Amino acid sequence: MHGGGGRVALKFGLALFPPDLSPAFLSTALRATWQTIAYAVAGLTLAVMIGLPLGIIASGTIFSSSSRLRLPVIAVTRLLLAGLRSIHELVWAVLFVAAIGLSPVAAIFALGLPYGGILGRIYAELLQEAPGEPLRALRAAGASPWRLVFYGYVPMSLPDMVGYTFYRFECAIRSAAILSFVGIQGLGYQLQLSLRDLLFDQVWTLLLFLVAVIVVVDLWSGRVRRSLAS
Q: Which residues bind other proteins (CB under 8 A)?
A: 1-2, 5-6, 8-9, 12, 34, 37-42, 45, 86-88, 90-91, 94, 98-101, 103-105, 108, 155-156, 158-159, 162, 166, 174-175, 177-178, 181, 185, 188, 191-192, 195, 203, 207, 210-211, 214-215, 220, 223-224, 227-228, 230
We find the least distance from the C-beta atom of residue 224 to other proteins, in angstroms, to be 5
| CB-CB neighbours of 68 under 10 Å | 8
Q: How far is the CB of 144 from other proteins (least distance, A)?
A: 19
Name the nearest CA neighbour of 149 among 130, 166, 162.
130
Rounded to a whole number of angstroms, the minimum distance from the CB of residue 121 to other proteins is 12
Q: How far apart are the C-alpha atoms of 123 and 1, rounded to whole Å?
A: 45
Asked whether 213 and 221 are in contact (CB, 8 A), the reply is: no
Identify whether the C-beta of residue 120 lies closer than 8 Å to the C-beta of residue 57: no
* Least gap, CB of 1 to other proteins (angstroms): 5
Contact call for residues 186 and 31 (beta carbons, < 8 A): no
Nearer to other proteins, 26 or 208 (CB): 208
Q: For other proteins, which is the closer residue by CB, 76 or 181?
A: 181
φ, ψ for residue 22, nearest 5 deg: -65, 145
Residue closer to other proteins (CB basis): 65 or 230: 230
Calpha distance 60→35 (Å, rounded)? 38
How far CA 51 is from CA of 25, 82, 101, 113, 218, in Å, comes to 38, 12, 25, 9, 22
Nearer to other proteins, 87 or 138 (CB): 87
Closest to other proteins by CB, 6 vs 132, is 6
149, amino acid identity: V
CB 205, CB 165: distance < 8 Å: no
Pick 69 or 75: Cβ nearer other proteins: 75
With the C-alpha atoms ordered 162, 167, 173, 178, is the resulting torsion angle positive or negative?
negative
Work out how close the CB of 68 gets to other proteins at its nearest, in angstroms, rounded to a whole number.
29
CB of residue 94 to other proteins, shortest distance in Å:
7
Return the number of the residue (71 or 211) whose C-beta is nearest other proteins.
211
Q: How many CB atoms lie within 10 A of CB 49?
A: 13
